[in-house]
Amino acid sequence: METPVALDIIGHAIVSADGRIADRDRQMPRELRSDVDWARFQAALDDAALVVLGRHGHEAHPNPGRRRLVVTSRVERIEPVDELVTLWNPAAMPFSEAAERLGVRDGIVAVTGGQAVFDLFLPLFVQFDLVIVDGLLLPDGLPCFSGGWPDDVLAAGGMQVRTRQILEPGVRLQIWRRQPLSARG
């Protein structure tokens, strides 16, 4: 997948201690939420030129007025819903073309999941903000990435933790950044 040069693709996920973004019913349990992280996350979305998310996330969370690109196989290529929401089938159209069609040529693209969306954008992330809720386990839940534990997947994708921060007791943030091309093996 190719990305327009002036776009910074940033992923955002909050996971359980075992790397899950949802429980066995594909729902985000209350214990996987942090008010401190929610405020940080909402500010990041406010700064984005475009928010990319899966259909389930779009249907579960009303749009507060942000421009959204909803990943779904339910459309042939790309289909506007209204002035802020567009449905997009990545199997039929590259992201670069979808972004161009929306007039999004620069700025931040915030990718908020779910798993298939994180997998799709993994090669494009310049940054991934991973928030971990220590002590919460969702053993039958939905992993953040299909390829394994987030740390392993992000590292294998050429990213490194650049910042670590405790947001509140039991909730920590890791900011992963892509290595420069010259540093890759």
Would the pLDDT of 4 be above 60? no
- Residue 138 has a pLDDT of 97
* 43-52 residue pLDDT tens: 999 999 999 9
Phi, psi of 37 (to 5 degrees): -65, -40
Report pTM: 0.92
Would the pLDDT of 183 be above 50? no
Locate 83 and state its tokens. Answer: 């002035």
* Beta sheet of 85-88, edge-to-edge order: 78-80, 85-88, 68-71, 50-54, 107-111, 7-16, 125-133, 171-178, 159-168
* DSSP output for 68-82: EEEE-SSSSSEEESS
- Residue 184 has a pLDDT of 39
Of 2-11, 32-41, 137-146, the poorest mean pLDDT is in 2-11
Region 58-74: mean pLDDT is 91
Assess contact for 110 and 51: CB atoms under 8 A: yes
Locate 56 and state its tokens. Answer: 């389930």
Q: Which amino acid belongs to residue 2?
A: E
Higher-scoring residue by pLDDT: 118, 179 = 118
Would the pLDDT of 22 be above 50? yes
Would the pLDDT of 2 be above 90? no
Element holding 26 (H helix, E strand): none
Nearest to 144 by CA among 112, 176, 108: 112
Which CATH architecture group holds 7-180?
A: 3-Layer(aba) Sandwich (3.40)
Q: Which amino acid belongs to residue 42?
A: Q
